[in-house]
């Protein structure tokens, strides 16, 4: 059983095995939570990202995929970078958003991570409505088989925290 919780705060302050980053496909840093992680984690994370780009992801990391690097100076062992989809009103991209959570947990399992902190992937610059982002995030984690013991959603602002807390407090689907 995976314990799921939602807290309000800055994900870069979390003490967990792995912190998930809402990265962009370049892996070379951006704004929002990505910028915050690189700022606090220091240059070692970007260095690892550059190496990964050169060795595996010359065209960038595809949307819905996830990959791990060192966590630099963060209080974690790894950062798992995942690329969320840009929200669209004309196309249903929720499968890609679900894939971010599933793939991040798969990478966490490969690493042997037992505690993982997630931000609200795609719910910032990528424009995903927070209630829907929270529903997909929590449902996907509930539906994913993983050895991760604790998933903590770390939400920056109160509105995001409320949306995630509501989903976490809802009883899961039976079966």
Block residue for tokens 């100076």? 73
Contact map string, positions 42 to 71, toward ligand ADP, x by CB under 6 A: ------------------------------
Select from 30-38, 47-55, 108-116, 166-174 the region that touches ligand ADP (CB under 6 A): 30-38
The whole-angstrom separation of Cα 175 and Cα 128 is: 28
Strands (E), the chain: 3-8, 18-23, 66-70, 78-83, 115-118, 150-155
Q: Is 105 helix (H, G, I), strand (E, B) or coil?
A: helix
- Residue 150 has which token pair? 């604790």
Annotation marks residue 10 as catalytic: no
* List of residues 6+ apart from 25 with CB closer than 8 A: 60, 61, 62, 63, 83
Under rule CB under 6 A, residue 33 binds ligand ADP: yes
Catalytic residue (one of 10, 17, 34, 157) = 34
Of 5, 10, 47, 149, the one binding ligand ADP by CB under 6 A: 10
Under rule CB under 6 A, residue 122 binds ligand ADP: yes
Under rule CB under 6 A, residue 32 binds ligand ADP: yes
Residues lying near ligand ADP in the complex (CB under 6 A): 10-12, 22, 32-34, 36, 84, 119-126, 154, 156-157, 160
């Amino acid at each position: 059983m995976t314990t799921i919780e939602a807290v309000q705060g800055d994900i870069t302050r979390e003490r967990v095995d792995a912190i998930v980053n809402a990265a962009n496909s370049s892996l070379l840093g951006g704004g929002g939570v990505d910028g915050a992680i690189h700022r606090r984690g220091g240059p070692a994370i970007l260095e690892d990202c550059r190496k990964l780009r050169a060795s595996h992801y010359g065209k960038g990391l595809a949307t819905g995929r996830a990959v791990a690097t060192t966590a630099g100076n963060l209080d974690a062992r790894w950062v798992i970078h995942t690329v969320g989809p840009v929200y669209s009103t004309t196309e249903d991209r929720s499968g890609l958003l679900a894939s971010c959570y599933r793939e991040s947990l798969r990478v966490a399992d490969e690493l042997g991570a037992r505690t993982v902190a997630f931000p609200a992937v795609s719910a910032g610059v990528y424009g995903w409505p927070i209630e829907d982002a929270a529903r997909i995030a929590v449902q996907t984690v509930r539906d994913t088989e993983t050895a991760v013991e604790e998933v903590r959603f770390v939400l920056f602002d109160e509105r995001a925290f409320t949306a995630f807390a509501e989903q976490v407090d809802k009883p899961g689907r039976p079966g």
